Structures are given as C-alpha cells and as structure tokens.
Amino acid sequence: MAEIIDGKGFAANLRVAIAQQVAALKGQNLIPGLAVVLVGEDPASQVYVRSKAKQTVEAGMRSFEHKLPATTGQAELLALVAKLNADPAVNGILVQLPLPKQIDPAAVLDAIDPAKDVDGFHVINAGKLATGGDALVPCTPLGCLMLIKDRVKDLAGKRALVLGRSNIVGKPMAMLLLGESCTVTIAHSRTKDLPAECRRADILVAAVGKPEMVRGDWVQPGAIVIDVGINRVPTPDGKGRLVGDVAYEEAAKVAGAITPVPGGVGPMTIACLLRNTVVAACRQRGIAVPKI
C-alpha cells in the first residue's frame, strides 16, 4: 500500500513557517499585503476568497478584499488593478477566476504588475519560469513540487509525466520538474496510449479535471502520484462526493506514495499563495527572500 502524502499537514507546517517569517519582517518595517479581487457571486470562488483572506490574516499579513458585482465591466476592473498596482501597501494581487463573460481574463491578468502577480499567471512570469528567471510561480504546481521534493531528495533523471496542459497547472508543473532535471512528458487529451505513457512515470501528476480517469494499472509500482483534480461526483443521497483525477483506491495499491483528495494538493495552494506574497514583498523592498 502506498504511503499517503499528507498535504493538509504539510500546508499547516508551511503556514507556521511563513507566519514566523512574516513576524521577522515586521522588524524590518515590512508587513506583506495581499489584495484579492472577486467579481460576481460564484459560490466556489466565494469559499476560496474567504479562505485566502482568513489564512493571510492568520499568517500576520494584511488582506485587502475587493468584491465587485457580476455586472462589472472590464474597464472598471482594469481601473481597480491599476490602483492596486500603484498601492505600496499591496505586495500581491490576485484576481479570482473565472471572471464573468464580459471580461477578457488575459487582458486583466496581463494588467497586473508582474512583481505583484502572486498567482504567477502573467506572461512575464510564465516566461521567466520557462527561461530560468526569478519568476513568481503558480501556486498549485509549486505546492505539488514541494510535496514531491519532500519525498524524493534528488529528482535528476526521474521520469515525470504531467497529465494536463493548462497554463495554470500542467505547463508550469512541467517547467518546474524540468528545472529539477526530470525527464518530462506532458500528456493530454490527444496523447496516444495514455496508460502506457503513465506507466513509464516515476512521478505522475494528474491535472485534467476528469474524475478517477487514471486507473490503478496505469501506475508504475512504487511511483509517486500527485492528484490535482477536485471533481464533485453524484451520490445517491444527492450531496455528491469529491474525487480526484486518479482512482485512489486502485492507485494506492500500486503507488509508492499518493496524495488523497481532499487533503492532498488542495491545502498547499493557499499556503503557496502566502509564500508568494512574502517572496513578492521581499523582492519589492530589496530584502533577501527567506528560505522555506
């Protein structure tokens, strides 16, 4: 049976370490501030934004919440982003996705000052990540890498398969693993013989949003399996149940270590957002970034 990777516990420890760093920065007159912008009333987004604000304050940082109506126009949102870019108390800016359909997300994400782009979604940060610069790295792949590195000290030469090619998870995850000298494959909906590709992987990261798509016999014995999926599937009682992109029970019989859903990758995302806010604040002030 695979070892269960406790992302929830790992994230809690990370938040403690971040809170200590934030306390130390106060001595240098720096209180990192994170602005989170929510447009509309998407229930899942409201839950995320509330959690982000709560954990930001718990870490000793400043949280600025901006809630705008679903009818907000693009110009109005861009004006708010410009104001936050110019505000020295705001070190990090996150615009919650998805945005209402009248707003072009690319236009908004690219209006955020790259130095304050704690989501790491700006093309400048994507480019820096791809070329080995001092990027702000997207939170979910960063959290996945931390969990992987906690298990495997030297990733050089390991075969990694990233299932999914999104800008938010798949592509940056592949770049991070490449940066660790893994041999990286990015698989997607058009990949031929996906089970065979998966079986070659020492490290398998699933980020496709397809409930329990990765079966137990797709997993190489002893592999590390990181499941980024959060899918709600129907249950007879109507409440639904959260499952990942990996058929957990099957895969756990084969893998060396595996993240559960929930309690695996999920809690790491916000912890990494807090980390990115500290990194952004230190860089903006020319203070050495504390190590994790």
227 is catalytic: no
CB-nearer residue toward ligand GUN: 54 or 200: 54
**Nearest distance from residue 239's CB to ligand GUN, in Å?**
22
Contact set for ligand GUN, span 88-107 (CB under 6 A): 94-97
Alpha-carbon separation of residue 266 from 143, 211, 243 (angstroms): 9, 15, 12
Q: Nearest approach, Cβ of 175 to ligand GUN (angstroms)? A: 16
Residue 120: name the closest of 172, 61, 81, 174 by CA: 172
Cβ nearer to ligand GUN, comparing 220 with 277? 277
Q: Note if 87 is an active site residue.
A: no
CB atoms within 10 A of CB 44: 11
Chosen residue from 119, 197, 227, 245 binding ligand GUN by CB under 6 A: 119
By CB under 6 A, the residues from 127 to 146 that bind ligand GUN are 139
21-42 burial, b at 16+ Cβ within 10 Å, e below that, comes to bbeebeeeebebbbbbbbbbeb
> Is residue 121 a contact partner of residue 109, using CB atoms and an 8 Å limit?
yes
Which of 21, 55, 96, 220 is labelled catalytic? 96
Cβ nearer to ligand GUN, comparing 53 with 97: 97
The span from the CA of 18 to the CA of 25, in Å, is: 10
The catalytic residue among 21, 52, 158, 171 is 52
Task: Give the C-alpha distances (Å, rounded to integers) separating 236 from 90, 145, 157, 171, 245.
Answer: 46, 36, 45, 37, 21
Residue 152 touching ligand GUN (CB under 6 A) = no
Out of 113, 117, 119, 202, pick the active-site residue.
Answer: 119
Q: Which is nearer to ligand GUN, 5 or 273 (CB)?
A: 273
Write the CA distances from 265 to 4, 70, 87, 227, 244, integer angstroms. Answer: 12, 29, 32, 7, 10
Q: Is 119 a catalytic residue?
A: yes
Cβ–Cβ contacts within 10 Å for residue 9, how many?
A: 11
For 268, the 3-state DSSP assignment is helix
Q: Tell me: does residue 276 bind ligand GUN (CB under 6 A).
A: no
Instruction: Compute the least distance from the CB of residue 137 to ligand GUN, in Å.
Output: 12
Of 186, 233, 191, residue with least CA distance to 205: 186
Binding site for ligand GUN (CB under 6 A): 94-97, 119, 139, 269
Catalytic (active-site) positions = 52, 96, 119
